[in-house]
Structure 1
């Protein structure tokens, strides 16, 4: 009797391993540097003469272009070549990091941070779309994105644990200079290993769409940071105009048919909720330092152990998605994330609460990174190769907007209460409720649809891509 044939698990070639090393190394570098710079903020401000009130602009100068231009650069990567945009972003990052490291005044420093934000908006969607278009086999793609999530978490963890030591031993300028050798190494290796990955023929740019979406996102992010009502109205008007432009544009920047796909729509909504969790970390930092009176060093160590669990989650999540599908893993990860935060709502002012904080953060971070991998796979599924830059640009735009908006929103909620502890409790309650309700909505929003009815409803000009067929088979 013939033995049953089973396909062996896909194996990476040497070239694919080197591509992974380059693309994941770039993401690790950016996340570690972001974390190191957060630790160094007071020293950076003092070094260039920024007042305490001006410190938030060191982060905001980076966040505005990183959030506002990611979607545009993601689409440009599809049109003009992903490798080209990735390498251009690395060149800009090198120059911006040198400028920041040598900055002698606040103006130069903030300019360097803005240029770093532009470089991030260029490199991250290009790198992610190179990953999703290079590793197209569904299970391998899920594992690669899981490894990406693990290394991003490792970058944040390494930055938090080593940032203070690095800045103390050297100087705040090391937070900028550390990027330069890594970026130069990537620029030397990448051209010979990574193919273009773009669609340079039939290049048509949607200038009205680019202007309205970029202006709308910049205004919206600025409104959140500065709590500016006029900017909020301008942002809403421009984003509404963008939607109308895309309905009529002959070569839209973000085709509305893509934005209406359940995987893209619900995947990106999940990303907004998942990265809202960054505000929980901020709230817990306030709790540990302001309520319990712990030092920044001890606070970093408390976050360090859960950070290691997050690294493990990134590796495990890719395998779970290969076995159970992205819908189940995404919703399960969000549910774990929300339930893990729930005990933190009832913390008191005594240090005995650390017995709850550490395991809750460990479980919560595991669910958080599992959710990140799940939403990334979900939001980039079902699209053909030539639209992967747009899909990854959307996911990264979602991530940047959520990270930028989360802390101001939850901080405003916390400020409605009289005491610091009760304000933290209220903010965490809102976070838990948002996460768990959203998990339920996403579960139903991503439920399998009737294939024949869905095909009949699709316009003739919107054929299903090969990636969508693979996703349907995997689910």
Structure 2
């Protein structure tokens, strides 16, 4: 069964090309389409984390100072988070396949530049261009998925596969980052992205069909400028706060700039005839609380992984390779959970699975407070963080389903742009906030425990808020 997702009328697809009914198994072509889209998202998630362990070696090689090492991550995070909403809307207008392929081409070419970088400037330029390519790939790829697979069990399964692979990609990045850096060089971590991007570029044009809105909306330039500027300011502030502190003048200035720009964006969207982000969509409880739940699970889990890295290496003296292998167990748990989470969503509903996943993750994060110096603490951390991955992955799948359900195809690029912006901001928010909190303690172990305690409290509170918000919405319906 060939899948053609070109939209002929707003919110409708040609009957001849509709996906299989929910009782049918996915065709071979549908599976290949899903594989290509997931492979691209996996590469982006991998790229975000693969440098974590390689940064010290990279700094020595390129003579990048210790104070500027964090720019290896920030240079990617700024454009990848700041331009997601804009590229999601552009994809709705000019074609999701087109934007996906352009983004993938840019991402692959930028990976080549980062691989052969000869100076800090050339490396950071490559990372920034990678982030810009990722900002095009992620929302357009998610929109291609949600317009290819009809809402219901098929889409839930597809989102489950994609969500699990993105979570696994983030974890595998840490594992591979340690292995490749120790066995080869830091350049191999960037070279891996070249190979993956090139492979997807060969297959994607053969499998993906174009999908766009029937009526092209006018691009909301004032809205695009304010939201992109606001997100760039917010991500910059959060990315640098852990190093400079939240009292630093530049951090305060960018937080204020973010608040002003995002407030202006809301005012613009309320008045414009064709907004970049419809406030009507944001008022949907599924969109609002779905994205809140997604940000909660991503921000807290990535922060727990970061704090765990400090604990394993600086307290218990594990090598980068062994540290990566510990988190490989978390990736395995996420992979297994991603296979059955869609069934939980089908049986209990995405709202219950989302809130339940958050609260399970919170309970197990509280269990990490029992860690201490020595082998016993390492084993406790490995077991508990792996089990927490069950709640985390269930919440990831449920949040993607919740945040994109009940919307017509012509709003899927926007919905997935919001969902992926949530992911990027979530990744960026958790680490600087909790690492700054952890740094207030004199020794690493007590600082890590303080950060993990705050992490557990935050995901508990947000899990309860999501449960109440989505529950109240269900009662009104």
- The alignment status of 1:271 with 2:285, answered yes or no, reads no
What residue number does 1:403 align with? 427
Q: Structure 2 vs 1, CA of residues 281 and 110 (structure 1 numbering), >3 Å: closer, same or farther?
A: same
Question: How far did residue 153 of structure 1 move?
Answer: 2.9
What residue number does 2:277 align with? 254
- Paired with 2:189 and 2:82, the residues of 1 have a C-alpha distance of 24
What residue number does 1:62 align with? 76
- The alignment status of 1:32 with 2:46, answered yes or no, reads yes
Question: How far did residue 8 of structure 1 move?
Answer: 7.2
Query: Any idea what the Cα deviations from partners look like across 1:305-338, whole Å, max 9, x if unmatched?
Result: 2221111111111121122110111111111100
What residue number does 2:380 align with? 356
- Paired with 1:310 and 1:358, the residues of 2 have a C-alpha distance of 14
- The alignment status of 1:301 with 2:315, answered yes or no, reads no
Conserved in 2, the CA contact under 8 Å of 1:157 and 1:308? no
What residue number does 1:216 align with? 230
- The alignment status of 1:238 with 2:261, answered yes or no, reads yes
- Paired with 1:139 and 1:202, the residues of 2 have a C-alpha distance of 30
- The alignment status of 1:312 with 2:336, answered yes or no, reads yes
- The alignment status of 1:73 with 2:87, answered yes or no, reads yes
Query: What is the DSSP-based 3-state SS (H/G/I as helix, E as strand, rest coil) of the residue aligned with 1:12?
Result: coil
1:346 to 370, 378, 384: 370
Conserved in 2, the CA contact under 8 Å of 1:81 and 1:200? no
- Paired with 2:269 and 2:278, the residues of 1 have a C-alpha distance of 6
Conserved in 2, the CA contact under 8 Å of 1:413 and 1:426? yes
Query: What is the DSSP-based 3-state SS (H/G/I as helix, E as strand, rest coil) of the residue aligned with 1:59?
Result: helix
What residue number does 2:25 align with? 11
1:425 to 433, 438, 449: 449
What residue number does 1:464 align with? none
Higher deviation after alignment, 224-233 or 59-68: 224-233
- The alignment status of 1:138 with 2:152, answered yes or no, reads yes
Q: Structure 2 vs 1, CA of residues 163 and 415 (structure 1 numbering), >3 Å: closer, same or farther?
A: closer
Q: Structure 2 vs 1, CA of residues 306 and 26 (structure 1 numbering), >3 Å: closer, same or farther?
A: same
What residue number does 1:465 align with? none
Higher deviation after alignment, 352-361 or 277-286: 352-361
- The alignment status of 1:159 with 2:173, answered yes or no, reads yes
Higher deviation after alignment, 57-66 or 176-185: 176-185
Question: How far did residue 409 of structure 1 move?
Answer: 0.4
Query: What is the DSSP-based 3-state SS (H/G/I as helix, E as strand, rest coil) of the residue aligned with 1:447?
Result: helix
Conserved in 2, the CA contact under 8 Å of 1:336 and 1:363? no
What residue number does 1:3 align with? none
Query: What is the DSSP-based 3-state SS (H/G/I as helix, E as strand, rest coil) of the residue aligned with 2:210?
Result: coil
Query: What is the DSSP-based 3-state SS (H/G/I as helix, E as strand, rest coil) of the residue aligned with 2:332?
Result: helix
What residue number does 2:162 align with? 148
Q: Structure 2 vs 1, CA of residues 307 and 72 (structure 1 numbering), >3 Å: closer, same or farther?
A: same
Query: Any idea what the Cα deviations from partners look like across 1:218-250, whole Å, max 9, x if unmatched?
Result: 111112223310111111000000000000011
Conserved in 1, the CA contact under 8 Å of 2:176 and 2:189? no
- Paired with 2:324 and 2:200, the residues of 1 have a C-alpha distance of 30
- Paired with 2:330 and 2:403, the residues of 1 have a C-alpha distance of 26
Q: Structure 2 vs 1, CA of residues 52 and 8 (structure 1 numbering), >3 Å: closer, same or farther?
A: closer
User: CA RMSD of the aligned region, Å?
Assistant: 1.7
What residue number does 1:226 align with? 240
Question: How far did residue 413 of structure 1 move?
Answer: 1.2
- The alignment status of 1:101 with 2:115, answered yes or no, reads yes
Higher deviation after alignment, 405-414 or 415-424: 415-424
Higher deviation after alignment, 188-197 or 116-125: 188-197
What residue number does 1:194 align with? 208
- Paired with 1:189 and 1:350, the residues of 2 have a C-alpha distance of 48
Q: Which 5+ residue runs of structure 2 have no aligned equivalent?
A: 1-20, 242-250
- Paired with 1:403 and 1:326, the residues of 2 have a C-alpha distance of 22
Q: Structure 2 vs 1, CA of residues 8 and 304 (structure 1 numbering), >3 Å: closer, same or farther?
A: closer
Query: What is the DSSP-based 3-state SS (H/G/I as helix, E as strand, rest coil) of the residue aligned with 1:204?
Result: coil
- Paired with 2:92 and 2:356, the residues of 1 have a C-alpha distance of 32
Q: Structure 2 vs 1, CA of residues 310 and 212 (structure 1 numbering), >3 Å: closer, same or farther?
A: same
Q: Paired residues, what number?
A: 447
Conserved in 2, the CA contact under 8 Å of 1:22 and 1:186? yes
Q: Structure 2 vs 1, CA of residues 439 and 73 (structure 1 numbering), >3 Å: closer, same or farther?
A: same
Query: What is the DSSP-based 3-state SS (H/G/I as helix, E as strand, rest coil) of the residue aligned with 1:446?
Result: helix
2:137 to 113, 123, 140: 123
- Paired with 2:474 and 2:355, the residues of 1 have a C-alpha distance of 21
